[in-house]
Amino acid sequence: GTAADWGGFEDNMQGGGSAVIDMENMDDTSGSSFEDMGEMHQRMKEEEEEEGEAGAAEEEDGEFLGMKGLRGQLGRQVADQMWQVGKRQATRAFSLYANIDILRPYFDVEPIQVRARLMESMIPVKMINFPQKIAGELYGPLMLVFTLVAILLHGMKTSDTIIREGTLMGTAIGTCFGYWLGVSSFIYFLAYLCNAQITMVQMLSLLGYGLFGHCITLFVTYNIHFHSLFYIFWLGVGGLSTLRMVAVLVSRTVGHTQRLILCGTLAALHMLFLLYLHFAYHKVVEGILDTLEGPNMPPFQRVARDIPVVSNAVLNTTAKAIALTL
């Protein structure tokens, strides 16, 4: 049975053509050769290189676009931040100047208090051993400055003042407010150097109420044109208001030299300013000349006249009459 089996296997191997593999009939293009594998490997390598180059180009483009986008974003952020800061500062400035509550404490004062402080500005204090109280309000000083502007404008009109550049109102406002603000700032700076205990608002209030004497003096002397009357008011009324300010500054300053410098400077400026306002816009009185000569009469002039010739007979007769009379 075994031989038959093996014999049948041999017969099948030799006689059956279906089980024999013919190597000559195989197709070379089947893709199983080493040449085909090399070509595929080379092609895959080229594709990988192309993909790598494209990826590198995309990365470079992405980096360039990323830097450009980053710069644009940074610029927008800086511009936005600058806009926010400017808007915040503008809002703060507008709120500072538009909010009335900031200035309300400096103008919250009763008329009775203003009247009492006006009277006190003409009375020098006696106690200088301790600091005197100064009102920290600006309503009274501001009204006094405006009153001085009106009085000065009246003096300009009555004295026929001619302003070539500007107006009378502008000149009066500039003179009065310039003195109030400028001298207050200068005295405050000098007080800081002399170690005087006073603030800027207190200095404005003190000097503003000190102008009450100037208003009285100029109002009287602009309507009554007598220099002797002006000097009386200058020493009396103006001197009292100046002594009041000097006494207050003395009570708030330590040291004799500092007191002398500070108070002497303030007194000199305050009294000289009153002299300037009087003589710069004072009308010279010419009523006597108008009364004697008339408003339209020309001044007297010496004119040469012709004397007629007198005969000798007339002269002899006149001489004999005079001799008989004697």
* Residue that the structure tokens 């020493």 belong to: 235
Which two three-digit tokens encode residue 287?
């009523």
- pLDDT for res 100: 65
For a pLDDT cut of 90, what percent of the chain falls above it? Answer: 30
Residue 245 has pLDDT above 90, yes or no: yes
pLDDT category at 34 given cuts 50, 70, 90 is very low
Query: Average pLDDT over the chain, rounded to whole?
Result: 74
- pLDDT for res 81: 81
- pLDDT for res 107: 86
- pLDDT for res 89: 77
88-97, 132-141, 184-193, 258-267, range with the lowest pLDDT: 88-97
Mean pLDDT for 173-201 is: 92
How many C-beta neighbours within 10 Å does residue 195 have? Answer: 12
Mean pLDDT for 85-99 is: 69
Model confidence pLDDT, tens digit, residues 208-218: 999 999 999 99
pLDDT category at 40 given cuts 50, 70, 90 is low
- pLDDT for res 26: 45
168-177, 237-246, 303-312, range with the lowest pLDDT: 303-312
Q: For the chain, give the secondary structure using H, E and C.
A: CHHHHHHHHHHHHHHCHHHCCCHHHCCHHHCCCHHHHHHHHHHHHHHHHHHHHHHHHHHHHHHHHHHHHHHHHHHHHHHHHHHHHHHHHHHHHHHHHHCCCCCHHHHCCCHHHHHHHHHHCCCCCCCCCCCCCCCCCCHHHHHHHHHHHHHHHHHHHHCCCCCCCCCHHHHHHHHHHHHHHHHHHHHHHHHHHCCCCCCHHHHHHHHHHHCHHHHHHHHHHHHCCCHHHHHHHHHHHHHHHHHHHHHHHHHCCCCHHHHHHHHHHHHHHHHHHHHHHHHHCCCCCCHHHHHHHCCCCCCCCCCCCCCCCCCHHHHHHHHHHHHHHC
- pLDDT for res 228: 86
How many C-beta neighbours within 10 Å does residue 282 have? Answer: 17
Residue 65 has pLDDT above 80, yes or no: no
162-166, 173-177, 178-182, range with the lowest pLDDT: 162-166
Distance CA 210, CA 245 (A): 7
98-102, 116-120, 130-134, 263-267, range with the lowest pLDDT: 98-102
* Residue that the structure tokens 């004497």 belong to: 213
- pLDDT for res 130: 79
- pLDDT for res 9: 47
- Tell whether pTM > 0.75: no
Which two three-digit tokens encode residue 163?
């302003």
Decide: residue 273, CB within 10 A, 0-12 exposed, 13-18 middle, 19+ buried: middle
pLDDT category at 131 given cuts 50, 70, 90 is confident
- Count Cα atoms within 13 angstroms, Cβ side, for 293: 12
Residue 51 has pLDDT above 80, yes or no: no
